[in-house]
Chain A
Amino acid sequence: MTIRLRDLSACFEGVIPSIIATASAEGTPNISYLSHVALVDDDHVALSNQFFAKTGANVRANPHATLLVVDARDGAQFSLGVIWERALDTGPLFDRVATQLRASSAQIGMGDIMRLKAVDIFRVVSVSTCAPLGGDRQIPLDSRPISLSMLAALLNGVTEKGDADALLEAMLDAARDISGQDHAIILLNDEARGVLTTVASIGYERAGIGSEVPTGTGLIGETATARHPIKVNDMSRVRRFSSAVEASSTNENRTRIISFPSLPDAMSQIAVPMIAYGSVRGILFIESRARMSFGEEQEAALEILARQGATSLALNDALAFDAQPRPSGPSTPPTNDRPIGVVSHSFDDSVFIDNIYVIKGVAGRLLILLLNLYLNEGRSEFTNREIRFADELRLPDLKDNLETRLLLLRRRLEEKGLPIRLIHTGRGRMKLIVDGTLVIEKAG
Chain B
Amino acid sequence: MQLSADLVGFLASPVMMIVGTCDAANRPSIARGSGAAVSVGVDTVSIFISRPQWPQTIANLRENGRMAITFARPSDYVSYQLKGKATLRDADATDIVRSERYTADMFAVLSNLGVAVDLATPWFARQDIVVAILEPAEIYVQTPGPRAGTAL
Interface residues of A (CB under 8 A from B): 16, 19-23, 25, 27-33, 35, 50-54, 62, 64-68, 70, 72, 74-77, 79, 81, 110, 113-114, 130-135, 236-237
Contacts and interface: CB of A to CB of B under 8 A. Distances in A.
A242 B10 CA distance: 37
Interface string B133-152: 00000001010111011000
Contact of B127 (A31, A35, A54, A134): A134
A295 to B, nearest CB: 17
Contacts of A72: 119
B75 to A, nearest CB: 9
19 contacts: A23-B20, A29-B28, A30-B81, A31-B19, A31-B81, A32-B79, A32-B81, A33-B18, A33-B72, A35-B144, A51-B145, A65-B28, A66-B30, A72-B119, A75-B119, A76-B122, A130-B122, A133-B125, A236-B114
B70 A27 contact: no
Contacts of B140: 54
A110 B81 CA distance: 20
A35 B79 CA distance: 14
Contact of A110 (B27, B69, B120, B144): B144
Interface string B83-110: 1000000000000000000000000000
A316 B31 CA distance: 57
Contact of A135 (B54, B72, B122, B149): B122
Contacts of B66: 27-29
Given A66-B27, A81-B27, A110-B77, A75 B123 contact: yes
Contact of B144 (A51, A65, A76, A133): A51
B130 to A, nearest CB: 13
Nearest to B17: A31
Contact of A66 (B25, B29, B120, B122): B29
Given A33-B72, A64-B27, A131-B53, 10 more contacts: A23-B22, A28-B66, A29-B66, A52-B149, A54-B140, A68-B18, A130-B53, A132-B50, A133-B50, A237-B114
B145 A113 contact: yes
B20 to A, nearest CB: 3
A76 to B, nearest CB: 6
B64 interface: yes
A79 B30 CA distance: 8
Contacts of A74: 118-119, 122
Nearest to A53: B149
Given A23-B26, A29-B67, A133 B149 contact: no
Contact of B21 (A29, A50, A132, A135): A29
Contacts of B54: 130
Contacts of A237: 113-114
B41 to A, nearest CB: 26
A98 B83 CA distance: 31
Contacts of A67: 30
The B contact surface, by secondary structure, is mixed
Given A21-B29, A27-B66, A110-B144, A77 B83 contact: no
A52 B146 CA distance: 10
Which of B25, B27, B69, B121 has the largest count of A CB atoms less than 10 A from its CB? B27
Given A21-B30, A33-B70, A74-B118, A114 B19 contact: no
Contacts of B127: 132-134
A66 B28 contact: yes
A31 B53 CA distance: 18
A110 B74 CA distance: 12
Contacts, number: 129
B28 to A, nearest CB: 4
B144 A31 contact: no
Contacts of A110: 77, 144
Contacts of B22: 21, 23, 27, 29
Nearest to B124: A132
A64 B113 CA distance: 34
A31 B70 contact: yes
A75 B120 contact: yes
Contacts of A66: 27-30
B132 to A, nearest CB: 12
A171 B127 CA distance: 51
A350 to B, nearest CB: 41
Given A21-B20, A31-B19, A31-B70, A132 B27 contact: no
Which of B26, B29, B81 has the largest count of A CB atoms less than 10 A from its CB? B26
Contact of B52 (A35, A81, A133): A133
Which of A22, A27, A50, A70 has the largest count of B CB atoms less than 10 A from its CB? A27
Contacts of A33: 18, 70, 72, 77, 79
B119 A51 contact: no
Contacts of B18: 19, 31-33, 68
Contact of A77 (B72, B79, B113, B122): B122
Contacts of A134: 127
A30 B22 CA distance: 9
A103 B128 CA distance: 39
A33 B140 CA distance: 14
Contacts of B125: 132-133
Which of B53, B68, B81 has the largest count of A CB atoms less than 10 A from its CB? B68
A39 B44 CA distance: 39
